[in-house]
């Protein structure tokens, strides 16, 4: 007879969704509770690798500090309320705001983890856009990728065509402003990315890292130090050499791009000798790199966060692609190539989408600062001012899901106090953070292991074309609910008051309870089915569906050993299917490059720094990751420190024109002179409910960054997060 006290233990195949490689995981579930996570040896790409954060996620799921019931703020702290009460009050107050001020008074900020849940993205977007014209939508991408997307919009006519390095075939990888050994790769889904880079060297190739810091990646390969925020000049010099030395791939250029002569004229004056003093890179090194890029048949430059968040993010990203193009490495095996979903009629999809997105970009501007709205989202750096500045479209109600903008967006203090002035603020999160603790309601959401998933956002960036989907491995903890369900209930309650929602509910799409989740899943299933490898709704026998992926290919399925090339015409969104090099906006940016001045009393430059055991702001409450009394500290060049009388481990005051923090610094030789590296995501000052994180504390580096509209990158709305002028003083 079965022992009724015996526990059931299951091992469920799934994958991690903290960062972009999406490593395979095996979840141990005992009596319905997640008790352990270990790397999946049978995952075809991550093959037994997972990092410490992935393993530590059990502690997040079961965190005693986790919010597992709806919370309402009262003058004396948060109180638990029922879902019905919370949603009823939110819907009522939102309706009042809408009735009095219209959709322009409502905003939604979706943070980074949102991008890892297809249902979250689709429901948040559907909700805020469904409210009507004028509503405000923000994502973490204005602190992360918008400049990269903008460069694609200019070059290829659509922000969604973003090339990635053909990692598995390249023989020369130039990594600019990325630290994949710590970040595990970004805008690039490549499990075991460190091994993949070592493979390049093993097959006789090279990896060169251009970075102000000799990072964990640079230390393993070749390092070329650069002065922060000067990459555009380096890239212009690479182009100057490629043209001047006759190394440009003129046939490829003529066949695929318009504006080549214009480009040649733009770069002419940027000889390596003329830029060396500003970039800190010798002319010989630049010439060598240009020659290697042109003569190595399989070579690629790859830029990421460090090249996106300077004052010239769009220009730098644009120039990275242009160097790849001119050196003959764009859309070629081992070069910089375009992933894709393998949709039928791909080029028509891109043309149509490009036309719509370019039109939105031309027409929609932020109320404050007049910055164009790339991919329909506004610059989060301006969110506080949108809340605080009276007038039409002033934000009075704000939803924040999967984000901690008080720590992640420039001028955290300004945003924190702005949140307090809202008529309604609602967070969808499982922690009380520096941000969510300022909200009227905190609605508890499921973690990634409590929901099904298909990583829709990351399909385009896979170094090896691959599909994996998962079902939830445990039931929602406590009263938590998936975001899509919460949104569905709100839509149901707003029906009759918001026209689009009334239509949706009337159409028979049951937009209450699980309705939105089901609709989103149908959409994801539809994408899987029409995309490469899909069953094309029955036309292709044995092809993939969402269900078939989870049931028959739980460890995922490689679709192709390599990315496709020769795809340029299909990924371009311009009707003439050619790359457009010539843009007045680019010429204007190039013209301002040499004239940049820094205020004299801020002689140093601040850069960011990601840490192996952090994920932005939100994994500082997991004991496994905080072992060894971990805390916040910056890095300083040892010679700079000696000059200022700063000792190793000492606390220093860092001051920028925008704010001031105090932080301990370690001294290092592995940093370009004049540079201070400060990790973001710290500054847990006790307002949140994560006790271990609060104990670790730290400073909010985004007190040093600017939320002035004049400091937002004008083409893409990107926040300016690197190369910020600072002064350091011992305390
Ligand atoms: N462990 C860990 N992994 C993460 C995260 C995390 O917080 N922790 N965050 C995730 C997220 S949200 C993202 S977007 C990705 C980011 O992924 P990456 O871009 O690979 O990671 P970063 O560490 O931000 O790398 C940026 C690099 O640019 C350098 N840099 C700064 N300024 C400049 C400059 O002006 N020029 C050049 N050439 N380099 C510069 C920095 O020194 C740094 O090494 O990482 C993801 N993965
Ligand atoms: N100075 C400086 N600032 C930066 C950066 C930098 O390099 N330097 N990097 C920028 C970058 S690249 C990024 S992406 C942003 C990140 O900025 P944000 O996305 O605003 O903040 P995170 O710290 O990632 O916080 C994520 C929040 O989501 C919650 N969460 C986790 N999983 C889920 C989920 O499944 N659902 C929901 N609803 N909530 C969830 C966590 O509890 C946490 O509160 O920071 C940016 N800010
Ligand atoms: S590298 Fe990223 S995806 Fe892989 S286990 Fe670590 S956190 Fe998860
Ligand atoms: Mo990011």
Question: 671 is written with which tokens?
Answer: 């940093």
Question: 275 is written with which tokens?
Answer: 């830029």
Report how far ligand 1's centroid is from the alpha carbon of 244 (Å): 33
Distances (CA, A) of 63 to 19, 34, 66, 620: 20, 11, 5, 12
pLDDT tens column, 225-284: 999 999 999 999 999 999 999 999 998 899 999 999 999 999 999 999 999 999 999 999
Residues of the chain with CATH 3.40.228.10: 157-342
Report how far ligand 3's centroid is from the alpha carbon of 696 (Å): 23
Whether the Cβ atoms of residue 19 and residue 4 lie closer than 8 Å to each other: no
Mutate to test the pocket of ligand 3, among 14, 17, 19 (most ligand atoms within 8 A of CB): 19
Mutate to test the pocket of ligand 1, among 56, 209, 226, 610 (most ligand atoms within 8 A of CB): 610
Q: Is the distance from the beta carbon of residue 444 to the nearest atom of ligand 2 less than 6 Å?
A: no
Work out whether strand 9-15 and strand 136-139 pair parallel, antiparallel, or are unpaired.
unpaired
* Residue closest to 34 by CA, chosen among 53, 54, 12: 12
Phi first, then psi: give them for residue 517, nearest 5 degrees.
-60, -45
Domain 599-730: assigned CATH number: 2.40.40.20
Question: 536 is written with which tokens?
Answer: 């094309």
Would the pTM count as exceeding 0.95?
A: yes
Q: Is the distance from the beta carbon of residue 23 to the nearest atom of ligand 3 less than 6 Å?
A: yes
Question: 406 is written with which tokens?
Answer: 């008080």
Looking at residue 155, its pLDDT comes to: 98
Report how far ligand 4's centroid is from the alpha carbon of 51 (Å): 18
Residues of the chain with CATH 2.40.40.20: 599-730
Measure the CA–CA gap between 446 and 721, rounded to whole angstroms: 31
Measure the CA–CA gap between 561 and 232, rounded to whole angstroms: 34
Report how far ligand 3's centroid is from the alpha carbon of 15 (Å): 9
Of all protein residues, the one whose alpha carbon is nearest to atom 8 of ligand 3 is 54
Q: Is the distance from the beta carbon of residue 111 to the nearest atom of ligand 2 less than 6 Å?
A: yes
Domain 78-144+354-503+546-558: assigned CATH number: 3.40.50.740
Question: 405 is written with which tokens?
Answer: 């903008």
Q: Which ligand is nearest to the CA of 139?
A: 2
CB atoms within 10 A of CB 532: 19
Q: Is the distance from the beta carbon of residue 239 to the nearest atom of ligand 3 less than 6 Å?
A: no
Measure the CA–CA gap between 596 and 388, rounded to whole angstroms: 31
Q: Is the distance from the beta carbon of residue 439 to the nearest atom of ligand 2 less than 6 Å?
A: no
Q: Which ligand is nearest to the CA of 25?
A: 3
Q: Which ligand is nearest to the CA of 443?
A: 2
Report how far ligand 1's centroid is from the alpha carbon of 708 (Å): 23
DSSP per residue, 638-701: HHHHHHHTPPTT-EEEEEETTEEEEEEEEEESSB-TTEEE--SS----SSSS-HHHHHH----G
Query: For ligand 2, what atom is nearest to the CA of residue 445?
Result: 38
Q: Which ligand is nearest to the CA of 700?
A: 2
Residues of the chain with CATH 3.40.50.740: 78-144+354-503+546-558
Q: Which ligand is nearest to the CA of 721?
A: 2
Q: Is the distance from the beta carbon of residue 433 to the nearest atom of ligand 1 less than 6 Å?
A: no
Q: Is the distance from the beta carbon of residue 520 to the nearest atom of ligand 3 less than 6 Å?
A: no
Of all protein residues, the one whose alpha carbon is nearest to atom 3 of ligand 3 is 22
Report how far ligand 1's centroid is from the alpha carbon of 707 (Å): 21
Q: Is the distance from the beta carbon of residue 54 to the nearest atom of ligand 3 less than 6 Å?
A: yes
Q: Is the distance from the beta carbon of residue 455 to the nearest atom of ligand 3 less than 6 Å?
A: no
* Residue closest to 460 by CA, chosen among 321, 540, 549, 567: 567
Q: Is the distance from the beta carbon of residue 722 to the nearest atom of ligand 2 less than 6 Å?
A: no
Domain 157-342 architecture: 3-Layer(aba) Sandwich (3.40)
Q: Which residues of the chain have pLDDT under 70?
A: 1-2, 4, 507-515
Measure the CA–CA gap between 178 and 196, rounded to whole angstroms: 15
Q: Is the distance from the beta carbon of residue 43 to the nearest atom of ligand 3 less than 6 Å?
A: no
Looking at residue 561, its pLDDT comes to: 96
């Amino acid at each position: 007879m079965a022992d009724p006290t015996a526990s059931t233990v299951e091992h469920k195949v799934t994958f991690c969704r903290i960062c972009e490689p999406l490593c395979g995981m095996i979840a141990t579930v005992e009596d319905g509770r997640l008790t352990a996570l270990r790397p999946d040896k049978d995952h075809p790409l991550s093959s037994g690798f997972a990092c410490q954060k992935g393993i530590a996620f059990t502690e997040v799921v079961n965190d005693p500090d986790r919010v597992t019931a709806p919370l309402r703020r009262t003058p004396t702290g948060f109180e638990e309320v029922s879902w019905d009460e919370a949603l009823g009050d939110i819907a009522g107050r939102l309706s009042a705001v809408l009735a009095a001020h219209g959709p322009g008074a409502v905003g939604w900020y979706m943070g980074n983890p949102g991008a890892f849940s297809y249902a979250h993205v689709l429901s948040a977007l559907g909700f805020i856009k469904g409210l009507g014209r004028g509503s405000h939508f923000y994502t973490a991408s204005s602190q992360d990728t918008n400049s990269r997307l903008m460069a694609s919009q200019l070059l290829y006519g659509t922000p969604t065509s973003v090339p990635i390095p053909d990692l598995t075939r390249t023989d020369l990888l130039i990594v600019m402003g990325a630290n994949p050994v710590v970040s595990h790769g970004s805008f690039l889904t490549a499990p075991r990315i460190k091994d993949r880079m070592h493979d390049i060297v093993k097959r006789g190739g090279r990896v060169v890292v251009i970075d102000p810091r000799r990072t964990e990646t640079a230390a393993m390969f070749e390092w070329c130090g650069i002065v922060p925020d000067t990459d555009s000049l380096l890239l212009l010099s690479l182009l100057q050499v490629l043209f001047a030395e006759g190394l440009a791939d003129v046939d490829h250029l003529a066949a695929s791009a318009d504006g080549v002569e214009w480009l040649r004229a733009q770069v002419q004056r940027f000889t390596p000798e003329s830029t060396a003093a500003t970039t800190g890179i010798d002319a010989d090194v630049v010439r060598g790199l240009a020659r290697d890029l042109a003569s190595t048949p399989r070579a690629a430059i790859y830029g990421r966060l460090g090249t996106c968040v300077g004052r010239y993010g769009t220009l730098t990203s644009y120039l990275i692609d242009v160097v790849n193009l001119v050196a003959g490495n764009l859309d070629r095996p081992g070069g910089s190539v375009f992933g894709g979903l393998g949709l039928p009629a791909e080029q028509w999809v891109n043309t149509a989408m490009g036309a719509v997105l370019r039109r939105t970009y031309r027409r929609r501007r932020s109320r404050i600062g007049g910055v164009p709205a790339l991919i329909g989202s506004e610059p989060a750096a301006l969110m506080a001012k949108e809340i605080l500045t009276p007038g039409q479209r002033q934000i009075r109600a704000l939803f924040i899901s999967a984000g901690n903008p008080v720590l992640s967006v420039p001028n955290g203090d300004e945003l924190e106090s702005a949140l307090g002035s809202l008529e309604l603020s609602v967070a969808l999160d499982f922690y009380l953070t520096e941000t969510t603790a300022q909200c009227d309601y905190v609605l508890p959401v499921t973690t990634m292991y409590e929901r099904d998933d298909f990583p829709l956002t990351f399909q385009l960036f896979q170094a090896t074309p691959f599909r994996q989907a998962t079902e939830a491995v445990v039931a929602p903890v406590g009263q938590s609910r998936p975001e899509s369900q919460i949104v569905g209930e709100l839509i149901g309650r707003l029906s009759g008051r918001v026209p689009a929602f009334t239509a949706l509910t009337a159409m028979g799409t049951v937009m209450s309870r699980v309705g939105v989740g089901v609709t989103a899943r149908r959409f994801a299933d539809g994408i899987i089915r029409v995309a490469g490898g899909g069953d094309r709704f029955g036309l292709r026998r044995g092809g993939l569906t969402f269900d078939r992926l989870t049931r028959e290919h739980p460890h995922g399925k490689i679709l192709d050993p390599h990315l496709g090339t020769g795809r340029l015409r299909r990924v371009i969104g311009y009707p003439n299917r050619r790359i457009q090099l010539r843009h007045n906006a680019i010429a204007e940016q190039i013209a301002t490059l040499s004239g940049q001045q820094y205020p004299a009393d801020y002689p140093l430059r601040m850069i960011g720094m990601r840490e192996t055991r952090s994920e932005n702001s939100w994994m500082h409450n997991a004991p496994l990751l905080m072992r060894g009394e971990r805390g916040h500290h910056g890095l300083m060049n040892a010679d700079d420190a000696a000059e200022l009388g700063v000792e190793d481990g000492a606390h220093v005051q860092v001051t920028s024109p925008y704010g001031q923090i105090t932080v301990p610094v370690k001294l290092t030789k592995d940093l370009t002179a004049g540079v201070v590296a400060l990790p973001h995501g710290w500054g847990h000052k006790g307002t949140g409910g994560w006790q271990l994180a609060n104990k670790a504390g730290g400073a909010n580096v985004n007190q040093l960054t600017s939320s002035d509209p004049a400091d937002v990158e004008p083409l893409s709305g990107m926040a300016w997060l690197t190369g910020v002028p600072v002064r350091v003083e011992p305390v």
